[in-house]
């Protein structure tokens, strides 16, 4: 065991994991108090009357393969939201340890930290530099010894990619003391390589991926943490047995078959083209002040009067995400790229 285990919470390091019922698929299950008959509404492959595999190995193998990491370097979770929560619960002692976040960014890092009672150190992105990292600010915050540093690239809600060289340098520097978590929820829309290729060289690095965005499976709730096996096994102590529902497991396998994967790639092409088309059209609109560079499936747009735009969009039955009251995001709305027809209708309804 290495420092990756030493920096975890002592309660978790010594935790005896829940002893779940034996998993031997060929045998008749009279050991888990399940009903021996399937419900008539059960159209699953495996049967919903029985518990799913406690820690779904075949699924994790498939996800490791999808994301190009060795077996044992991938942990499936109920969305990457759960991976964020598990990381903080494993590594942050309540009332003592801190996480570092760079707002404006995904809200779950801060929420999960506060639930665990971890301190939240904020080093805002530099609005004047298209929301790039404030490297000097991060440097200064390291004096407070954060245990986990959360970065999102492409960043939600700003859309831009972060400086990956700087993140790797940080991971190198923090070896022995902290983990650098890079949330790549929108990576597939960017055309950029995943940092997961660097996991073997950078033990402090953790990468989060999800099937919720590019793969169109938000409802199945399947995210993946990619990291050194020691970090993966720390999370396995804390994640609930049977966390991933059988219907989700079956949906993921179906979506990751060759045909559906090719269809996903085709949809990504369309989406990226639509992003650039919507950007150009919005750029020419008199209500638009500025659009942040985006490598994701959304645009962060600063309007002259965000409230008016929001009201017109709502009238036309569109929901947009209002960030106008967030610090540094006055008059900004986040617009998800829709189908070509939805994008046309949205453009048509703008005031
Ligand atoms: C949407 C989103 C997620 C959530 O992913 P799930 O896998 O659905 O939990 C994680 N991180 C960021 C930055 C997101 O925008």
Mind listing the pLDDT tens digit for each residue in 97-134? 999 999 999 999 999 999 999 999 999 999 999 999 99
Q: pLDDT tens digits for 28-67?
A: 999 999 999 999 999 999 999 999 999 999 999 999 999 9
DSSP 56-117: -HHHHHHHHHHHT--TTSEEEESHHHHHHHHHHHHH--TTT-EEEE-SSS-THHHHHHHHHT
> What is each CA distance from 127 to 134, 142, 157, 200, 331, in whole angstroms?
10, 21, 12, 33, 14
Rounded to the nearest angstrom, the gap between the alpha carbon of residue 105 and the centroid of all alpha carbons in its chain is: 12
Q: Are strands 223-226 and 205-210 parallel, antiparallel or unpaired?
A: antiparallel
Per-residue exposure over 290-319, b if at least 16 CB sit within 10 Å of its own CB, e if not: ebbebbbbbbbbbbeebeebbebbeeeebe
> What is the length of the chain?
351
**Percentage of the chain with pLDDT > 70?**
100
**1 alpha carbon to ligand 1 midpoint, in Å?**
31
Residue whose C-alpha is closest to residue 7's, from 146, 159, 182: 146
Distance CA 138, CA 238 (A): 29
Determine the pLDDT at residue 273: 98
Distance CA 25, CA 50 (A): 11
Q: pLDDT tens digits for 161-216?
A: 999 999 999 999 999 999 999 999 999 999 999 999 999 999 999 999 999 999 99
Determine the pLDDT at residue 17: 79
Q: Are strands 298-303 and 332-336 parallel, antiparallel or unpaired?
A: antiparallel
Pocket residue to mutate for ligand 1, from 223, 226, 296, 334, most atoms within 8 A of Cβ: 223
pTM exceeds cut of 0.95: yes
What CATH number matches the domain at 3-256, 3.30.420.40, 3.40.640.10, 3.40.718.10, 3.40.50.2300?
A: 3.40.640.10
Q: Left (φ > 0), alpha (ψ -120 to 50) or beta: where does 70 sit?
A: beta
Give the strand order in the sheet containing 321-322: 288-291, 298-303, 332-336, 321-322
Q: Average pLDDT of 88-93? A: 98
Ligand 1 atom 14, closest CA: 185
Ligand 1 atom 11, closest CA: 185
**Sign for the pseudo-dihedral over CA of 125, 128, 132, 136:** negative
* Comma-separated ranges of CATH 3.90.1150.10 domains in the chain: 259-349
**Ligand 1 binding site (Cβ under 6 Å of any ligand atom):** 79-81, 106, 152, 156, 183, 185, 210, 212, 218, 223
Q: Average pLDDT of 69-77? A: 98
Q: Average pLDDT of 77-86? A: 98
Say whether domain 259-349 belongs to CATH 3.90.1150.10: yes
22, pLDDT greater than 90: no
* Comma-separated ranges of CATH 3.40.640.10 domains in the chain: 3-256
pLDDT, the chain, mean: 97
Ligand 1 atom 9, closest CA: 79
């Amino acid at each position: 065991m290495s420092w990756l285990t030493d920096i975890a919470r002592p309660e978790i390091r010594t935790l005896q994991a829940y002893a779940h019922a034996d998993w031997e698929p060929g045998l008749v299950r009279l050991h888990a108090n399940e009903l021996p008959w399937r419900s008539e509404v059960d159209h699953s492959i495996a049967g919903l009357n029985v518990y799913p595999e406690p820690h779904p190995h075949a699924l994790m193998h498939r996800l490791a393969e999808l994301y190009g990491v060795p077996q044992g370097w991938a942990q499936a979770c109920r969305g990457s939201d759960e991976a964020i929560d598990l990381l903080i619960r494993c590594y942050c002692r309540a009332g003592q340890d801190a996480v570092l976040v760079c707002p404006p960014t995904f809200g779950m890092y801060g929420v999960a930290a506060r639930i665990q009672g971890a301190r939240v150190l904020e080093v805002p992105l530099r609005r004047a530099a298209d929301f790039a990292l404030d490297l000097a600010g991060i440097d200064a915050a390291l004096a407070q010894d954060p245990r986990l540093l959360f970065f999102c690239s492409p960043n939600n809600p700003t859309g831009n990619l972060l400086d990956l060289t700087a993140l790797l340098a940080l991971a190198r520097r923090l070896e022995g003391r902290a983990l650098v978590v890079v949330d790549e929820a929108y990576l597939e829309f960017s055309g950029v390589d995943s940092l997961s290729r660097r996991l073997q060289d950078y033990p402090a690095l953790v990468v989060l991926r999800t099937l919720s965005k590019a793969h169109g499976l938000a409802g199945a709730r399947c995210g993946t943490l990619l990291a050194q096996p020691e970090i993966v096994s720390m999370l396995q102590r804390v994640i609930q047995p049977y966390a991933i529902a059988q219907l989700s497991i079956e949906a993921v396998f179906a979506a990751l078959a060759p045909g559906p994967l090719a269809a996903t790639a085709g949809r990504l092409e369309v989406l990226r083209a639509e992003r650039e088309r919507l950007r150009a059209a919005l750029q020419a609109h008199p209500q638009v002040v500025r659009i942040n560079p985006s490598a994701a499936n959304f645009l962060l747009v600063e309007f002259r009067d965000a409230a008016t735009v929001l009201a017109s969009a709502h009238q036309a039955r569109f929901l947009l995400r209002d960030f106008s009251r967030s610090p540094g995001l006055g008059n900004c709305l986040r617009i998800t790229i829709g189908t070509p027809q939805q994008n046309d209708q949205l453009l048509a309804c703008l005031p």
